Amino acid sequence: MKKIIDALPLVVFASLIIVLFSFLSDKDDQLETALIDSSFPDFNLGSLSDESRLLTKRDIIKLPALINVWATWCIACRVEHPFLMKLKEESRLTIYGLNYKDNKFKALELLERDGNPFEFSIYDFEGRLAIDLGVYGAPETFFIDKNGLIRERHVGVIDERVWEEKFSKYLNE
Amino acid sequence: MIPEFGHLILIVHLVLSLLGGTLPLLAVYANYRSLEISIKKLSVTLFLLITISFLSLIYSFLVDDFSVAYVAQNSNINLPVYYKLAATWGAHEGSLVLWILAMNAWLIGFIFFTHSKDKDFLATVFSISCQVIFAFSLFTLFTSNPFERILPIPPLNGDDLNPSLQDFAFTVHPPLLYFGYSGLLIPFAIAVAAILFKKDTREWASYSRPWTLLSCSFLTLGIALGSWWAYYELGWGGWWFWDPVENAAFVPWLLSVALFHSLITSQNRGVFGKWSILLSIFAFATSLLGTFLVRSGILTSVHAFALDPERGIFLLAILAFFVIGSLFIYSITDFGHVEENKYELTSKEFGFLLNNLLLVVLAISILFGTIFPLIYEAFTGGKQISVGAPYFEIILFPFALALGLLQGVALYLSWGQSSSFSFLPRLLIESLSIFSLIILILFVLFDNLYLGSFATIFLASWILVGTLQMTKKRNLSYWNFLRKRLAVTFAHAGMAILIIGVGVVSSYSLEKEIILSPGDSTEFSDQTINFQSIDDLLGPNYTSKSAVVSFDDGSELSNIVTEKRTYLPSGQITTEAGIQADLFKDLYVSIGDNLQSNIWSFKIQIKPFIRWIWLGALLIAIGSFLAGVKQFKRR
Amino acid sequence: MKECGKKNFLNILMNKPILFLLFIIFSLQVSVEEGQVNFDNDAYPFTSEIKESLFYSLLNELRCPKCQSSNLAGSNSPISNDLKREVYELVVEGKSSKQIKDHLVDRYGNFIIYNPPIEPATYALWFGPFILILLSALVIILVRKRII
């Protein structure tokens, strides 16, 4: 009995070390997505190209689709831009843009210059839809399945590898 | 050349610390007496070596040698000289060298100030310490070498020191904290040697006590300075955030406090021997564990140390080797007959036992809460939670209450026998009087009373009365009585003052965000706030928008300056809060966003009694320092 | 001499419990009473002090999702300014503290609040400390004279 009590600190501490070691291996610093498997939130915002045109959830009709949160102030968005163009050119699926807290003219200029991968871009200057989506930075990409449910979300640059790992499986459902 | 020299010296230090970590043990245990070395000479040599190495790193900073990667990452030509000096320990690599330096300094202290006839025991303590120093040096050289060069083409200018670290408190805070952490090495080494030698509890406890007290004193100062820094530098007026990096310092602090209380009992009564050994090991373990948590990148924290999983594994290995090793020796050692010293439930021994129980469980809880988000994520398959201030405050409160109540009666208890509790009514009446007095003062000062602060204020009064014992009947004059226990009076009264500060600031604080253009004024509490002017300033390495905001309460006008600085090399923006500090209340303003041409938002706050928190901490630090020094005198 | 004076004053206060009680009751009322709110220059104007203090206390309890090591009160990043506005609007609408937290948790997950929820997966977190202290106190009292 006494031996067991004497060994107790050793056992407790050794298990703590093992637990900590297991935490070391892979650390994914993306926040969880609270909206997984729920339907896309309602919104009522102007279009980037024509602010008088009001967009709502019902305008997102071509499903499945990606919703890409982007802005001209976001450098990483420019990195992923060619990949979005490629997705569009290969017609893998429709991409809708969510222009986030951006200067409208700069944004339009960028699309003019580098090409526009988006069916349309929702202009969210105040970040309202972004909050409803749980967005905390740009770029972010959401996958909406054919039933209009959010299935996957990626924070950061999307490229071929991320597409294969996280998104392509939902397309083939 | 100088960096290579420093590098070389660091390698020599590594080799010598390995010798120090092995030869004395071989001499003692394998009886190769020919291997016996002078531990005094070796400890001085080690200290000199690490100091030279550290100085050469400082030199590289002062002469802007950007071919040294660490200098290039953390300094800049335009950085003021004072901060170039501080940048030496501002980031991971340099702070490790400072840490090793501190461990060596403690070791010298121990070797020269411990008078023991048992030379073998001293040699063993020295050797164990050297092993830890060796492990840290190895870690530094292999994963975090501060002398690494960027060759052949060094950058022309450095990246700059993190702007929020360019600040007075932050130049002093890390050294104090590292001295505090590393001081816990000595009690650890003594405890392990005590197991190996099956030392008499009273004897080894007397060696350990002063060092535990001194480390605790440094830890207290370091933590208090960190809190002060966060208060004015992070710009939102919080003084404790329960961030992992703060908890990583708070847990070893709690354990060091538990340890020296336990050592008092061990030294005086010969009891709690095994408990004190375990506490010594765990206090040291948590000081390493905290470092691991903050620097391995598994937790997000305010301090972004350059993160590297390799470092995490190395630190974990050091932790595992020393702590599991010592706990293993502990578990297989038969301590034989343990001195039995009967004590009653109302004796001083039991008081110390309760104190230790509460402190240790609190420390475990805070550690658990700090890593709980990781555990939760693992068990729920990726769901995340945050465990922050609201949780820790709820957990802390009952523990603090119990500890405080105990602290109030602690000094009345006597060793061994059942204490008489006849002092209780007196204590209660006196602390109620002090309580009412404080409440009255608060009412006069702030025209307001908050029920929420009553518990903490009563607790503080209770501790204060129990510490000062002004009206207790005694043979000595009050002054002589106080002088005899000056250290404990300082420390315990400090705790009372800290608790008053916490109680008042957490219920009487006022805050508001306002929008003003120059010339505008608004009302806030009893103050008229006026936005006087805003100007562009040019600092040595930053540009700044500097706003003058005046607070006028009808009798006193204070102009307070708050700045928004843009540091040139990095483009990083910091907010410098403007604070009018006062013993009873701080006026606090921090500039926010520029909304339109000249319209700015400001956050204004009134923080009553916040100074009392740091004043209390200072008294605790002084108290434990005095107590530590007194232990030397006694021998 | 000074201490004497303090004592006399205290004695008076202590010997007249009714006076003291009245003093407390009076002052409590002062603190509960709703003051006149002047919000011309407020960044977040409210019509009542209760809503205002709810707002500022929520800012301290909510975590900035972008910076991750500070609360909304301590962050000036664009996302936390948006979240402050969201919280402000909800407070003005008259939503309770719980409703507002739920609203944000629905979007950002429990990560956003510094106070973890009480659910089976967090029982260890919430009750562990108290169970541990009770257990160890029990053990110590029972085997006090034998182990230590």
CATH number at residue C87: 1.10.8.640
Where are the alpha helices (H) located in chain A, listed in sequence order? 2-25, 75-89, 104-114, 128-133, 160-162, 168-171
Cα–Cα distance for residue pair B37/B42, rounded to 1 Å: 8
Residue C123 belongs to what domain range?
117-148
Q: For an interface test with C, which of A1, A131, A132 has the most C Cβ atoms less than 10 Å from its Cβ?
A: A131
pLDDT at B90 (0 to 100):
87
Q: Do C140 and B357 touch (CB under 8 A)?
A: yes
Within 18-37 of A, beta carbons closer than 8 Å to B belong to: 19-24, 27, 29, 31-32
Average pLDDT over residues A83-88: 90
Q: Which chains form contacts with chain B, at 3 or more CB pairs under 8 Å?
A: A, C
Cα–Cα distance for residue pair B224/B216, rounded to 1 Å: 12
Q: For an interface test with A, which of B291, B327, B379 has the most A Cβ atoms less than 10 Å from its Cβ?
A: B327
Same domain, C103 and C127: no
pLDDT at B100 (0 to 100):
96
Type of residue at B513: E
pLDDT interval class at A166 (50, 70, 90):
confident
Residues of chain B with Cβ-Cβ distance to C40 below 8 Å are 522
The encoded tokens of residue B182 equal 């590393």
With an 8 Å Cβ cutoff, is C42 touching chain B? yes
Contact C125, C116 (CB under 8 A): yes
Same domain, C100 and C65: yes
Same domain, C96 and C146: no
Q: How many CB pairs under 8 A join B and C?
A: 160
pLDDT at B419 (0 to 100):
75
Same domain, C23 and C56: no
Residues of chain B with Cβ-Cβ distance to A14 below 8 Å are 320, 324, 327
pLDDT at C5 (0 to 100):
36
Cα–Cα distance for residue pair B293/A105, rounded to 1 Å: 46
Q: For an interface test with A, which of C83, C102, C103, C106 has the most A Cβ atoms less than 10 Å from its Cβ?
A: C106
Is position C8 within any domain? yes
Q: By CA distance, what is B443's nearest residue in C?
A: C27
Q: Do B357 and C14 touch (CB under 8 A)?
A: no
Residues of chain B with Cβ-Cβ distance to A10 below 8 Å are 324, 327-328, 330-331
Is position C38 within any domain? no
Q: Which chains form contacts with chain C, at 3 or more CB pairs under 8 Å?
A: A, B
pLDDT at C123 (0 to 100):
93
Q: For an interface test with B, which of C41, C54, C60, C139 has the most B Cβ atoms less than 10 Å from its Cβ?
A: C41
pLDDT at A93 (0 to 100):
86
Same domain, C70 and C122: no
Cα–Cα distance for residue pair B241/B231, rounded to 1 Å: 10
Task: Give which of A65, A81, A63 is closest to A142, Cα–Cα.
Answer: A65
Cα–Cα distance for residue pair B317/B314, rounded to 1 Å: 5
Is position C20 within any domain? yes
Residue among B241, B372, B384 whose CB faces C125 most closely: B372
Same domain, C53 and C100: yes
Residue among B292, B327, B375 whose CB faces A13 most closely: B327
Type of residue at B284: F
Q: Do C108 and A5 touch (CB under 8 A)?
A: no
Which structural domains are found in chain A, ordered by start? 33-171 (3.40.30.10)
Instruction: Please give the helix or strand (H or E) that residue B590 lies within, else none.
Output: strand B585-596
Cα–Cα distance for residue pair B603/B512, rounded to 1 Å: 6
Q: How far is CA A48 from the centre of its chain?
A: 19
Same domain, C62 and C111: yes
Count of residues making up chain C: 148
Same domain, C13 and C59: no
pLDDT at B337 (0 to 100):
62
Structurally, chain C folds into a number of domains equal to 3
Q: How far is CA C106 from the centre of its chain?
A: 22
Tokens 């977040």: give the residue: C44
Same domain, C100 and C53: yes
Q: Which residues of chain B have pLDDT under 70?
A: 300-308, 337-341, 634-635
Same domain, C99 and C50: yes
Residue B475's φ and ψ, nearest 5 degrees, are -80, -35
| Cβ-based neighbours of B424, under 8 Å, separated by 6 or more | B409
Is position C39 within any domain? no
Cα–Cα distance for residue pair C90/C101, rounded to 1 Å: 10
Q: Do C116 and B387 touch (CB under 8 A)?
A: yes
Per-position pLDDT tens, chain C of length 148: 333 333 344 444 444 444 455 444 444 444 444 444 445 788 888 888 899 999 999 999 999 888 777 888 888 888 888 999 999 999 999 999 999 999 999 999 898 999 999 999 999 999 999 999 999 888 877 766 554 4
Residue C37 has what DSSP assignment?
Answer: P
Q: How many CB pairs under 8 A join A and B?
A: 54
Same domain, C54 and C102: yes
- Give, rounded to a whole angstrom, the gap between the first and last alpha carbons of chain B: 47
- Chain B closest-CA separation from residue A64 CA (Å): 25
Same domain, C59 and C85: yes
With an 8 Å Cβ cutoff, is B481 touching chain C? no
Residue among C27, C68, C129 whose CB faces B449 most closely: C27
pLDDT at B340 (0 to 100):
64
| Cβ-based neighbours of A75, under 8 Å, separated by 6 or more | none
Cα–Cα distance for residue pair B69/B505, rounded to 1 Å: 44
pTM metric for this prediction: 0.91
- Chain C closest-CA separation from residue A90 CA (Å): 32
For residue B556, count other CB atoms closer than 10 A to its CB: 11
Cα–Cα distance for residue pair B10/B182, rounded to 1 Å: 18
Q: Do C43 and B515 touch (CB under 8 A)?
A: yes
Is position C134 within any domain? yes
Is position C7 within any domain? yes
The encoded tokens of residue B419 equal 């204490």
**Is the per-residue pLDDT at A22 higher than 70?**
yes
Cα–Cα distance for residue pair B295/B110, rounded to 1 Å: 29
With an 8 Å Cβ cutoff, is B588 touching chain A? no
A102-117 confidence digits (pLDDT tens): 888 899 999 999 889 9
With an 8 Å Cβ cutoff, is B317 touching chain A? no
